[in-house]
Structure 1
Amino acid sequence: MKHNTIPGLHHVTAISGPPQDNLDFFTGTLGQRLVKKTVNFDAPDTYHLYYGNETAEPGTILTFFPFVDAGPGRAGPGMASAYAYAVPAGRFDGWMARLAEDAIDFNGPVERFGQRVITLRDPDGAPVELIETDRVAQAPLDGFHSVTLWEADPEPTAKLLTEVFGYTDGGTETGEGIERLRLVAPGDARGAVVDLIRTDTPSIGRSGAGTIHHVAFRAQDHDTHMGWREKLLGLGHGLTPVIDRQYFDAIYFREPGGVLFEIATDPPGFATDEPMEALGRKLMLPPQHEPLRDRIERVLPPLRTAA
C-alpha cells in the first residue's frame, strides 16, 4: 500500500434546511452545477445533493443533507466553521458588482493573507466565503480555496496536517479576537488550504442547518487510500472500514480537535451511473436502495431542477 501527501480537499458536506432553497442558491446565486441528486445512503428518506463544476472534479464538490424541518445549528470549537470558493484572476470585482446589483448582501471585502475576501450567507445563514486568487479559469468560481476549522487548541490538528498529511505552515494572522493559522498542501490542486482558528469568544457548537458535517480530503487512487488507512491506524486514529459511497470510497475519523475528517478516492467519479452531460437531472440511487425507489420518491419533497 502507498500513501504520499494529501493534495487538498475532495469535498465538503454540510447540513441545510429545505432543499429547494438550497438548490436555488447554489445553482443560481453561485452558479454551481447540480452534479448529483441522490439520497443519504444511511437515511434514504433524505436527499443528498452534490454541487460542483461542470465536470464534477474533486476539489469543487460541496454536498448537502437537506432537512425540511432542520433546526438551526451553530459553529463552535471542534467543528468546521466555513468553506471558501476560489475566485479566478480578474473576477473578484465582477462578483461584488453582480451581488450588489442583485441586492445580495455580503460583508467585506477584507484582506486575509494578502487576498481579498467577501462573505455572503446561504439560505440557512451559513457563511460562504469568496477569496480572490491568481488562478486562471473560465468558470466564475474555480472550486474550493480553503476550509476553516475552529479549534480549542490548534496545535494537535496542525501537527496532524503537517507531520502526517504533508501540509506546510502558511503563516499566522490575528485580528478581531481571532488567531488564524494557515496550512497549505503541496502542489497546486484546488482546496489546498486549511485555516485553523482559535478565539477566546465563548461558543458551544451545535449541529443543525447552516453547519458543516464533515471535511473530505483527496486520495488520488484506491491504493493510496488504503495506504492512508494503514498509516492512520498505525498512528492510533480510530478509523471506519472503507465505505463504498458509489462515487468514491471513504474512510472517516475524528481529528484531535473533534472535526470529522474523511479521506475519499477520486475514482470512480460522478459519471459512473449517468453520463457527464446528464449529471444531476434524475434521482440516482445506489443498488441497495433501488428496490425501494417508489417509496423513496413518495417520501422525498418535490425538487425543481433545470431540465
Structure 2
Amino acid sequence: MSDKHITGLHHVTAISGPPQANVDFFTKLLDQRLVKKTVNFDDPGTYHLYYGNETADPGTILTFFPFVGAARGRPGYGLASAYGYSVGASVFDHWVGEVRAKGAQVSAPEERFGQSVVTVTDPDGASVELVAEPGDHSPAEGGFHSTTLWLDDLGPTQRLLVDHMGYAEVGHDTGAGQERLRLQAPGQARGTVVDLYRRDGAPRGVQGAGSIHHVAFRALDDADQLDWRDRMLAAGMQVTPVIDRQYFNAIYFQTPGGILFEIATDPPGFTRDEPLETLGQALKLPEKYEPIRDRIEQVLPGLQA
C-alpha cells in the first residue's frame, strides 16, 4: 500500500442530454444546488454545469456536459458506471419516497456491504445511487459516498488504487456471474469508497448521454497535486501537465481499465469569481472567452435554474 493516500472524491463529471431536464432533476428531486454555470472550456458552445452542497465543498460536486441531441451512451466495462450519494439512515426512507413521488424511476432497495442502497434513474438513463449511512442528512448535505468503476479485469485498477493511491480492500462480493470489490481510503472525508465491478459477458461501455466522463480525486493544494503527479508517473501512468480549470487545477490520466481519472486541487474553489450567496446564477466564463460572450450566449440553449 502507498505511504500516502487519496483523501476522497473531489467531483464526478458526466454527460447529459438537454440541460433543462438535467437541472430540474438534480435541483428539484435530489436537493442539489447549482453552484456554477459556465461552459465547456474546450467547447464554449456547450454548458458545463456544477451541482453541490450549499457551500460547494469538494466531495459534493457533480458536473455535467449537457449536449442537446446527444446519443445515449451504452453501459459496460471501461467506464465509471455509477456514483452514490450519502443519505442519513434516519431520513433514507423519506428521501426515497420523495424522489419516487416526484416521478423518478427508483429501484427496490438492496443490501450492499451492510448498507441499504437504491438506484435512481436520471433523465438520461444514468444510475444515481442513494446509500444509507448514519445521520439525518440529505443527499446534498451528505455529498458523495462512492463511485463504481465497471471493469473487464479488476486486478490492474485494484493495484493502482491500493499500491499507489492508498486505498484498502474492505469488502468483496461474488456470485451470479458478477463481482464487486470495495476499496476505501482512510479518513472521514466525503466520497472515500470506490467499488470495482465486473460482470460476465458484459459489453464494452460507450460514452454518451447518461455516461460518466471521468472521476476526480482530491489534492489538498498545488504542491500535493504535483506530488501525486510524480507518484502516478512513477506508477507508469501517462499524466497530463497541470491544467487550469478556473476553480481548481487538474491533472488527468487513463487507468489500466480504461477509465479517465483526474486529481483536482481543493483551491481556489467556486467562490473565486462570484460570492457564495449567488453561486450558479450568472453565466461565468474564463477570461479567454469574455470577448465572445455575446456569441456564446446566443448559441447556448435557454436555461431556467
Structure 1 residues 16 and 140: CA distance shift in structure 2, 3 A: closer
Q: Distance in 2 between matches of 1:296 and 1:281?
A: 17
Matched with 1:66 is 66
Q: Distance in 1 between matches of 2:149 and 2:243?
A: 24
Matched with 2:276 is 276
Matched with 1:212 is 212
Matched, 1:94 2:94: yes
Structure 1 residues 96 and 252: CA distance shift in structure 2, 3 A: same
Deviation of 1:138 after TM superposition, in Å, equals 6.5
**Could you report, residue by residue, the CA deviation over 1:81-139 in whole angstroms, capped at 9, with x for unpaired residues?**
11111102311111122234334331121100000011111000111110001145466
Structure 1 residues 232 and 276: CA distance shift in structure 2, 3 A: same
Q: Distance in 2 between matches of 1:114 and 1:87?
A: 14
Q: Secondary structure at the match of 1:186?
A: coil
Q: Distance in 1 between matches of 2:240 and 2:278?
A: 33
CA RMSD of aligned residues (A): 1.4
Matched, 1:128 2:124: no
Q: Secondary structure at the match of 1:108?
A: coil
Matched with 1:221 is 221
Q: Does the 8 A contact of 2:179 with 2:198 survive in 1?
A: yes
Q: Which amino acid aligns with 1:233?
A: L
Equivalences for 1:1-307 in 2 at 5 Å? Answer: 4-135=4-135, 137=137, 141-305=141-305
Q: Does the 8 A contact of 1:16 with 1:22 survive in 2?
A: yes
Deviation of 1:175 after TM superposition, in Å, equals 4.0
Q: Does the 8 A contact of 1:4 with 1:224 survive in 2?
A: no
Q: Distance in 1 between matches of 2:190 and 2:26?
A: 19
Q: Which amino acid aligns with 2:159?
A: K
Q: Does the 8 A contact of 1:88 with 1:140 survive in 2?
A: no
Q: Distance in 1 between matches of 2:26 and 2:161?
A: 29
Q: Does the 8 A contact of 1:145 with 1:192 survive in 2?
A: yes
Deviation of 1:50 after TM superposition, in Å, equals 0.2
Deviation of 1:150 after TM superposition, in Å, equals 0.5
More displaced 10-residue stretch of structure 1: 33-42 or 80-89: 80-89
Q: TM-score w.r.t. structure 1 length?
A: 0.96
Q: Which amino acid aligns with 1:247?
A: Y
Q: Secondary structure at the match of 2:215?
A: strand
Q: Does the 8 A contact of 1:27 with 1:33 survive in 2?
A: yes
Gaps of 5+ in 2: none
Q: Distance in 1 between matches of 2:263 and 2:96?
A: 34
Deviation of 1:176 after TM superposition, in Å, equals 4.2
Q: Distance in 2 between matches of 1:199 and 1:252?
A: 27
Q: Which amino acid aligns with 2:226?
A: M
Q: Which amino acid aligns with 2:50?
A: Y
**Could you report, residue by residue, the CA deviation over 1:247-293 in whole angstroms, capped at 9, with x for unpaired residues?**
00000000111100000000000000000111000000011111110
Q: Distance in 1 between matches of 2:102 and 2:8?
A: 33
Q: Secondary structure at the match of 2:267?
A: strand
Q: Does the 8 A contact of 1:35 with 1:52 survive in 2?
A: yes
Structure 1 residues 135 and 265: CA distance shift in structure 2, 3 A: farther
Q: Give the number of aligned pairs.
A: 303
Gaps of 5+ in 1: none
Q: Secondary structure at the match of 2:54?
A: coil
**Could you report, residue by residue, the CA deviation over 1:14-40 in whole angstroms, capped at 9, with x for unpaired residues?**
000000000000001111000000000
Deviation of 1:202 after TM superposition, in Å, equals 2.6
Structure 1 residues 33 and 176: CA distance shift in structure 2, 3 A: farther
Q: TM-score w.r.t. structure 2 length?
A: 0.96
Q: Distance in 1 between matches of 2:198 and 2:37?
A: 36
Q: Which amino acid aligns with 1:67?
A: F
